Structure 1
Amino acid sequence: MIKVFQAIYSVYALLLFVGLMLLFGLFIIIPLLISPNGDKISFVFFRAWAGVWSFLCGIRYEIEGQEFIAKDKSYIFIFNHRSFLDAPIIPLTVPKEVRAIGKKELSKIPVFGLIVSRVAIWVDRSNAESRQKGLEAVAKLIGKGKSIMIAPEGTRNDTQETLLPFKKGAFRLSAETQIPILPMAIIGADQILPKGSKLLRPGKVKVVFSEALTPPNSTAESEIDRFVEKGRNRLEAMIITHS
């Protein structure tokens, strides 16, 4: 019986997700078509979509550490990726306009893919050339003062491990551009929508931000490796401490 109610709730949440995306979609897309700086207006509606959907679905958020995010600075945000729910979590909890690297498969989701394409860089993670082009596109955005959101694990984590091994791209980019890394721990999203499941449930997601990590002045491989380890240790400690 519980599964039946959960299935009904999941269908309701999905229809609401699409309906609200259609409602807010034009207001998200049009400012970005008019001007590259239209993202300030777009993200108002992006957050409205995520906030209304979360409220009507009974999904609550507890946020800590936003004081570490300076409004006048750019960051490379890194986060632990355990659920598709990260899509509404990020615009709702990050108090900045951000661009994200996402896997190409998400671009094929009707409505969602079309709208989010305006603020995402799609990458085929199985293709080294695609990953490199994605990082080059990100570097250009950083050069324009934009902040970036990257999941350094490279894919959703459905293991019992706190984090998967990190890819180096975000950290190398940080060292090359001297834009700091800012860790963001997302806790509880996988309880609401686990990987591999189509059934949602109401609940609470905790989002914790850490003080930014200053990149090394060198792009030597040994320095990048230490920076990756530092970032992974910080994010892992945040998840364990706040879980």
Structure 2
Amino acid sequence: MRIFKILYTVWAAFWLIVLFLILFPFFWIFLQKEEWKPKAHYLNRLWGKLYFPIVGIPIKVEYRFNPDVHQAYVFCANHFSYLDIAAMGVVLKNYYAFVGKSAIKKVPLFGYMFSKLHIQVDREDKGSRAKSMTRSIRALQSGRSIVIFPEGGIKTKRPPQMHKPFKDGAFMMAIQQQVPVVPISFLNNYKIMFDNQPPLSRHTLKVVVHEPIETKGMTQDDIEILKTRVYEVIQGELTSFHLN
């Protein structure tokens, strides 16, 4: 019944906020120095690891590839739900930076953490796009991975079909730095919560981490080829899952 879904959504939102408020003082401390930021990243992951079991949403990950925590990658995933951001910390052990929309920094407290720990971009502003690209490349050069949703946000109106075309940024930086692109399929995230629209439904959140796609030897002329390969891997898994 809808009333129970609404009550569950309120309860889940309560725990999301409470856990973050408990952790925020430690976030604030670890965000004061660059060398402490990996600890803030760990807290980010801990937030997700605590939250999903509390609200009864198990996360089942199929690792067809186990990323090396000492190597930098560009992780590309479909994006149908804001739950993806919290879930990614459970899926990946790597130290990474999200590339996300700059509007997030307006969210009280969470926006502060995101702006200090991750990379913001206003996709309507050419200067912001260039700045975020520069910061992303520096992160990759330092050995830190990048997580990006190449659809450019939650754009699709009919999941599990992804929005096309993909944005170029993820593929430009991967080719420039010659680092692998790792596709990730969130198979049923939209069934739990589509976009940011409640109420929530309880399901096991299912994720597939795919084999990496190497970029060594690629040039910027290969961006479209790389985009197509990543799209086909993620969308192919989504389509196969929903046909079975």
Could you tell me whether the CA contact under 8 Å between 1:83 and 1:193 is conserved in 2? yes
SS at match of 1:78: strand
Distance 1:196 1:41 in 2: 28
Residues 1:111 and 2:118 aligned together: no
Among residues 68, 71, 78, which one is paired with 2:69 in the alignment?
71
Distance 2:158 2:122 in 1: 25
The verdict on how the C-alpha distance between 1:74 and 1:32 changes in structure 2, with shifts beyond 3 A counting, is: same
Code of the residue aligned with 1:32 in structure 2: it is L
Cα distance, 1:196 vs structure 2 = 5.4
Code of the residue aligned with 1:199 in structure 2: it is P
Distance 1:14 1:54 in 2: 11
Aligned partner of 1:197 in structure 2 is: 197
Cα distance, 1:99 vs structure 2 = 0.3
Distance 1:146 1:196 in 2: 28
Among residues 50, 56, 74, which one is paired with 2:54 in the alignment?
56
Matched ranges for 1:16-31 at <5 A: 16-31=15-30
Could you tell me whether the CA contact under 8 Å between 1:64 and 1:207 is conserved in 2? yes
Code of the residue aligned with 2:157 in structure 1: it is T
Code of the residue aligned with 2:230 in structure 1: it is G
The verdict on how the C-alpha distance between 1:66 and 1:120 changes in structure 2, with shifts beyond 3 A counting, is: farther
Cα distance, 1:167 vs structure 2 = 1.1
Could you tell me whether the CA contact under 8 Å between 2:76 and 2:181 is conserved in 1? yes
Distance 2:36 2:62 in 1: 28
Cα distance, 1:180 vs structure 2 = 0.9
Cα distance, 1:24 vs structure 2 = 1.0
Distance 1:20 1:197 in 2: 21
Pairwise CA RMSD: 1.8
Code of the residue aligned with 1:113 in structure 2: it is G
Matched ranges for 1:71-110 at <5 A: 71-110=69-108
Distance 1:117 1:64 in 2: 30
* 223-232 or 75-84, larger mean C-alpha shift: 223-232
SS at match of 2:58: strand
- Structure 2 gap ranges (5+): none
Matched ranges for 1:167-178 at <5 A: 167-178=167-178
Deviation per residue, 1:18-59 (Å, 9 max, x gap) = 11101112223322323x343432233222211221111111
The verdict on how the C-alpha distance between 1:220 and 1:61 changes in structure 2, with shifts beyond 3 A counting, is: closer
* 74-83 or 19-28, larger mean C-alpha shift: 19-28
Aligned partner of 1:159 in structure 2 is: 157
Could you tell me whether the CA contact under 8 Å between 2:176 and 2:220 is conserved in 1? no
Distance 1:101 1:172 in 2: 14
* 44-53 or 176-185, larger mean C-alpha shift: 44-53
Cα distance, 1:148 vs structure 2 = 0.4
Code of the residue aligned with 1:188 in structure 2: it is N
Could you tell me whether the CA contact under 8 Å between 2:58 and 2:204 is conserved in 1? yes
TM-score, structure 1 normalization:
0.91
Percent identity over the alignment is 24
Among residues 143, 149, 159, which one is paired with 1:145 in the alignment?
143
Matched ranges for 1:206-217 at <5 A: 206-217=206-217
- Structure 1 gap ranges (5+): none
Deviation per residue, 1:132-191 (Å, 9 max, x gap) = 211111111111111000111102133226221211111111111111111111121111
TM-score, structure 2 normalization:
0.91
